Amino acid sequence: LTERAVQTATTTCPYCGVGCGVEASLLGAHLQSVKGDARHPANLGRLCVKGSALAETLTTSHRMLQPQIGAQAVLWEQALEAVATGLQQTIAQYGPDSVAFYLSGQLLTEDYYVANKLMKGFIGSANVDTNSRLCMASAVVGHKRAFGADAVPACYEDIELADLVVIVGSNLAWAHPILFQRLSAAKEAKGTRVVVIDPRHTDTAELADLHLAIAPGSDVWLYNGLCRHLLERGCIDAAFVAQSVDGFTELQGHLHHPQYELASVAVRTGLAMDVLQQFFAWVEHHPRTLTLFSQGVNQSSQGTDKVNAIINSHLLTGRIGKPGAAPFSVTGQPNAMGGREVGGLANQLAAHMDFASDDVDRVGRFWQAAQMARQPGLKAVELFEAVEQGQIKAIWIMATNPVVSLPQADRVKAALAKCPLVIVSDAVQDNDTLRLAHIRLPATSWAEKDGTVTNSERCISRQRGLIPGPGAARNDWWIITEVARRMGFAEAFDYQHPVDIFREHAALSGFENDGQRAFDISLLENISRTEYDQLQPVQWPLSQRHPRGMQRLFGNGQFYTVNGRARLLCVEGGEQRKGVPDHYPLLLNTGRIRDQWHTMTRTGYVPRLLQHRAEPFVAVHPQDLKRLKLQEGDLAEVASRDGSVIVRIREDGGQQPGQVFIPMHWNGVFSAQARVDTLVAARLDPFSGQPEFKLTQVRLQRF
């Protein structure tokens, strides 16, 4: 082995929505090490603990190496034939809506595109949803309601340019560590003020100049109170509002109600009036205010309204699309936005088109579709309810583990157990969902597959296939395409390489567009294979005027609504959810820990990533422990109306009394009784269908 044999290649990290660039060192077909890509705009050379351990996840010990039907290993030909025949027979007997796909923000954009095309354009159903529903569906609807399109106005550079950064519902330090590092560095360099709005005092709150330990779920009250303050103080960009924003008079009237007076907002949010006044004054006096929001906002039965309450504060002040000033949704998954671009959600079509317009015919014309879906399909939670009720009789789950990650996870498990045909494509040999599959398909994983992803700042980057997949593992786009061909759609799925799919995706984004659609990358529709291989990060939308894309949107006051104006929304604070005395007195919050990813199917196999938190736990305030006569290290049963888990107690003064926290990660392979989403009820946001993961009523007792 000589030093000269080592080669480097760039790709992107597959874990979170930051979408960091990675430089990998390769020795032949062996990936030796990784470091941050200094030229990637997301991370500028940094990597967090998870990203820096990527090379250690590439063992084959837990990988699925061969397709399986039941317990029998089979050849690909047999497996593909079984999938195609199973879907066809189900459709023939029960109709297109009796089948469903459930996808993942882990899929690359090209994988996502062909899955959607097959279901929506050729099977003729829109029953294709994704675990991104659990992540940012509320932000999508909030953006569409306010801007007319699901378009994020900001870019990461705004973190350095802002004078005030408000973080709402995010433990950025653990969930998006590189953005946190960028913020910490900016604070160090220029004294950026930081406000953290979160019921928990997390590592992120440690950085804050002001931590608002808000009552869980009261964000709309807080932001309505803020907007009222801004109106009263005349902190409004009157020219911007007059020229570019609808709904001002209605919002003014709405917020005039006494319930949004300071004293009332203080009661609703559980915050002291002087703390609120300080927050309001800081926002008032910082034109460069950036609001970063994430799952504490989105994963809520009021998530969409929370998003719009935040956006209202930016539209009123004209702080949008300007350096250091914007509302900024930070997504959870590496490709949550790429999935949105190709219509990965059941209520969307590809290239940000919708069912409620002539877009259905437009997409159908472009695809020369055999049978276009004409109505939105079932959203994630509803989709598994339809499996439970026997309406869906065949489901194909790709790269996700819903038996761990969906609310009422035991109900999902029972539904799949009685579903006549469950097909699962995954990279690993064993997880809770795979155990219920009739057909298992081995998929390639990070560093083995080629394609693109889009991160939280609309930046499209390449993930590159650097090493061969193990055993018989194949790329997801190839698996879907081969099934489509066997179902009789060979002509429409004649792809030889991901670049063929990317070109089609890019062409569709500009098809009959006339510059009216937010998502447009049609400049890349004739990209060559070499150009695709060498593609550098680029931020959509692309145009002749902005061939390298745009960092910020809406700074010119032009939005994607029909009249080109943004919309203020009159959103209500709503009732506060509390514990139920004597039965379920505590409120459970769930979320990420620093070193684990999703249901641990990758990171759970890396010993050093288990050093930070080695086992599932419940974080409890010392006062609650004293009251319950429990202590750190005890095993506890946490129970809700929907289920129970057994976890270790961690004493945590960062919790508020009456509130507990359990990480979302542990699956049934690593810990038989710690699947926290067995506790979580299926309470959905009425607009986005995103479930509430932050407010479950539970009780806690010694196990």
Binding site for ligand SF4 (CB under 6 A): 13, 15-16, 18-20, 43, 47-48, 50-51, 176-178
Q: CB-based burial of residue 261 (10 Å sphere; 0-12 exposed, 13-18 middle, 19+ buried)?
A: middle
Dist CA 138 CA 150 (whole Å): 10
Q: How far is the CB of 675 from ligand SF4 (least distance, A)?
A: 23
Q: Which is nearer to ligand SF4, 181 or 400 (CB)?
A: 181
Dist CA 456 CA 294 (whole Å): 11
Q: How far is the CB of 13 from ligand SF4 (least distance, A)?
A: 3
Dist CA 676 CA 644 (whole Å): 8
Q: Which is nearer to ligand SF4, 336 or 647 (CB)?
A: 336
DSSP state of 435: G
Length of the chain: 703
Query: If we measure between CA atoms, which residue out of 157, 182, 62, 167 comes closest to residue 604?
Result: 62
Q: How far is the CB of 177 from ligand SF4 (least distance, A)?
A: 5
The set of residues, in sequence order, having a beta carbon less than 8 Å from that of 513 and lying 6+ positions away, is 520, 522
Dist CA 633 CA 615 (whole Å): 11
Dist CA 130 CA 376 (whole Å): 14
Q: Which is nearer to ligand SF4, 44 or 527 (CB)?
A: 44
Q: How far is the CB of 412 from ligand SF4 (least distance, A)?
A: 26
Q: Which is nearer to ligand SF4, 298 or 509 (CB)?
A: 298
Q: Which is nearer to ligand SF4, 177 or 573 (CB)?
A: 177
Q: Which is nearer to ligand SF4, 42 or 625 (CB)?
A: 42
**Cβ atoms 62, 426 nearer than 8 A:** no
Strands (E), 175-238: 193-197, 210-212
> Residue 362 has which token pair?
């437009």
Q: How far is the CB of 21 from ligand SF4 (least distance, A)?
A: 9
Q: How far is the CB of 180 from ligand SF4 (least distance, A)?
A: 9
Q: How far is the CB of 427 from ligand SF4 (least distance, A)?
A: 17
Reduce the DSSP state of residue 398 to 3 states and report it: strand
Q: Which is nearer to ligand SF4, 293 or 559 (CB)?
A: 293
Q: How far is the CB of 493 from ligand SF4 (least distance, A)?
A: 31
Q: How far is the CB of 683 from ligand SF4 (least distance, A)?
A: 28
Q: Which is nearer to ligand SF4, 16 or 436 (CB)?
A: 16
Dist CA 139 CA 558 (whole Å): 20
> Residue 181 has which token pair?
């590092």
Rg for the chain, CA atoms, rounded: 24
Amino acid at 340: R
Dist CA 435 CA 165 (whole Å): 44
Amino acid at 385: E
* Nearest residue relative to ligand SF4 (C-beta): 51
Q: How far is the CB of 310 from ligand SF4 (least distance, A)?
A: 23
Q: Which is nearer to ligand SF4, 183 or 523 (CB)?
A: 183
Q: Which is nearer to ligand SF4, 177 or 469 (CB)?
A: 177
Dist CA 466 CA 468 (whole Å): 7
Dist CA 17 CA 156 (whole Å): 12
